[in-house]
């Protein structure tokens, strides 16, 4: 069976249904923009999912560490063993008792499901199903899931996700707990809901309590997802419920508070003579008493780079004004590039969006746009990243 085309012509639900009904074995590859994901099937059942940019095998250990199921030291030990034996990460973790078999099966199920269900939100892209005689997967720790079950859950996600997105507009958003009394988890038997309500405390389920506990006014939604071990959709669904019940609220000032943290500066390799000349000019005009107020737009951003410099054109000319704007923009770009490298050292991965540098308190909000107020062009691909300024129109 040859299946190849675009998602506009043949939806992902139709593809899954066809593979499930015909009980096919093979690998479905779906491409969308710069993302490439694969889903493996055996007899019409889903047995694996992977991403070209970050494989499941590589991601599993990191997810288990962030969710507190294994320690960083255990992961490093497992990676050393894997390097010398080439065994699967899951097998190593279980054999060395870093995690039990059930914990591993649950973690793999969440990761595979999360990747598959993310595909259902793709509206455009290309697909290609390659039929195979057999597909290799971790039969000991991965439970095949029928395509029909995936379709049912995928339909529920598609139905609920638009509502969730209205409250969680971006995974870089930060929430804090509202000033509401939450009932304590009772040891042993569950507490009576009526007793809690009478005491004025709000009762939460075990999963709601766990997600609520991860909300601290500092973590982004993405970081909460990584630590919850529930998967992307389920974590967002619970977070949406907490928002709806006014138990957590968006921290709208989180970015501005983070701006108070000093930002590591990057010195340019060579200072432009034009900038040096401008510096002397500023020192001379400083005696007039008004230069500080008029020069402030130089570092706070401007519309097109000319209007705010109009007062200096009689002195330096319009052409040199553009050169000054470009020099400052290049210096800003170096600061962003340095912050990305610091983020990599702290998180062992590049940020998917420059706003993570702000929520991570590495840069101020105005530092991730150029002096003209335009976002920098940033892209992560193949284990590295590209950043540049937008070309002038």
Structure tokens at 343: 């983020």
pLDDT at residue number 25: 92
Residue with tokens 């973590």: 219
Q: What are the CB-based long-range contacts (under 8 Å, 24+) for 50-53?
A: 50/115, 51/115, 53/380, 53/381, 53/382, 53/383
The Cα 65–Cα 76 span in angstroms is 10
pLDDT at residue number 301: 41
Q: Which residues contact 148 (CB under 8 A, 6 or more apart)?
A: 17, 20
The Cα 19–Cα 46 span in angstroms is 10
Is this model's pTM higher than 0.85 or not?
no
Angle (nearest 5°) at CA 99 between 109 and 227: 60
Q: Rounded to 5 degrees, what are φ and ψ at 59?
A: -80, -30
Integer angstrom CA distances of residue 112 from 108, 120, 142, 174: 6, 13, 9, 26
C-alpha dihedral, 270 to 271 to 272 to 276, nearest 10°:
-160
pLDDT tens-place values along the chain, 393 residues long:
557 888 888 888 888 888 888 898 999 999 988 788 899 999 999 998 888 766 665 567 777 777 778 888 888 888 888 888 888 888 888 888 888 888 888 888 878 887 888 887 787 889 899 888 888 888 888 889 888 888 888 778 778 888 888 889 888 899 999 888 887 765 544 444 444 444 457 888 888 998 999 999 999 998 898 888 777 888 899 999 999 988 999 987 544 434 433 434 333 334 455 544 555 554 455 544 443 344 444 434 434 444 444 545 555 555 566 666 677 777 778 888 877 877 776 677 788 888 888 887 778 888 888 877 888 888 887 778 888 888 765
Integer angstrom CA distances of residue 4 from 7, 10, 28, 163: 10, 9, 9, 32
E strands of 220-280, at which residues? 248-250
pLDDT at residue number 258: 41
Q: With helix as H, strand as E and coil as C, how does 193-216 read?
A: HHHHHHCCCECCCHHHHHHHHHCC
The Cα 205–Cα 234 span in angstroms is 13
What SS3 class is residue 380? strand
Q: Which residues contact 105 (CB under 8 A, 6 or more apart)?
A: 141, 142, 143
Helix axes 221-228, 56-66, angle to 10 degrees: 90
Structure tokens at 95: 């054999």
Q: Which residues contact 43 (CB under 8 A, 6 or more apart)?
A: 23, 24, 25, 144
What SS3 class is residue 339? helix
E strands of the chain, at which residues? 3-6, 26-32, 35-42, 45-51, 126-131, 145-146, 175-177, 248-250, 377-381, 384-388
Burial of 59 (0-12, 13-18, 19+ CB in 10 A): middle
Q: Which residues contact 222 (CB under 8 A, 6 or more apart)?
A: 171, 172, 352, 356
Residue with tokens 């998917």: 352
Among 319, 320, 317, 306, residue whose Cα is nearest residue 371: 306
In our burial notation (b when 16+ CB lie closer than 10 A, e otherwise), range 110-127 reads: bbbbbbbbbbbebeebeb
Q: Which residues contact 161 (CB under 8 A, 6 or more apart)?
A: 121, 233
């Amino acid at each position: 069976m040859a299946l190849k085309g675009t998602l506009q012509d043949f939806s992902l639900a139709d593809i899954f249904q066809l593979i499930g009904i015909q009980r096919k074995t093979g690998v479905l590859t779906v491409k969308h923009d710069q993302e490439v994901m694969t889903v493996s099937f055996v007899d019409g059942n889903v047995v694996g999912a992977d991403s070209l940019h970050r494989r499941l095998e590589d991601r599993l250990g990191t997810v288990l560490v962030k969710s507190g199921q294994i320690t960083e030291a255990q992961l490093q030990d497992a990676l050393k063993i894997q390097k010398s034996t080439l065994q699967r990460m899951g097998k190593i973790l279980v054999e060395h008792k870093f995690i039990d078999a059930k914990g591993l099966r649950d973690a793999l199920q969440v990761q595979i499901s999360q990747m598959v269900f993310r595909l259902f939100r793709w509206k455009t892209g290309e697909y290609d199903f390659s039929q195979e005689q057999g597909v290799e997967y971790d039969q000991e720790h991965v439970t095949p899931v029928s395509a029909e079950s995936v379709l049912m859950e995928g339909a529920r996600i598609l139905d609920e996700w638009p509502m969730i997105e209205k409250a969680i507009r971006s995974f870089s958003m930060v929430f804090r707990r509202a000033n509401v009394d939450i009932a304590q988890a009772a040891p042993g038997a569950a507490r009576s809901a009526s007793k809690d309500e009478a005491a004025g405390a709000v009762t939460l389920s075990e999963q709601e309590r766990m997600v609520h506990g991860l909300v601290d006014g500092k973590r982004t939604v993405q970081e909460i997802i990584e630590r919850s071990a529930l998967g992307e959709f389920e974590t967002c669904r619970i977070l949406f419920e907490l928002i709806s019940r006014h138990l957590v609220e968006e921290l709208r000032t989180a970015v501005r508070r983070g701006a108070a943290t000093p930002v590591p500066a990057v010195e340019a390799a060579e200072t432009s003579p034009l900038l040096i000349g401008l510096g002397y000019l500023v020192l001379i005009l400083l005696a007039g008493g008004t230069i500080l107020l008029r020069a402030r737009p130089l570092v706070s951003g401007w519309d097109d780079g000319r209007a705010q410099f109009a007062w200096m054109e009689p002195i330096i000319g319009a052409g040199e004004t553009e050169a000054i704007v470009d020099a400052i923009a290049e210096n800003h770009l170096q600061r962003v590039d340095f912050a990305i490298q610091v983020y990599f050292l702290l998180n062992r991965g590049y940020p998917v969006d420059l706003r993570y540098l702000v929520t991570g308190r590495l840069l101020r909000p105005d530092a991730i746009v150029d002096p003209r107020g335009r976002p920098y062009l940033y892209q992560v691909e193949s284990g590295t990243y590209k950043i540049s300024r937008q070309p002038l129109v």
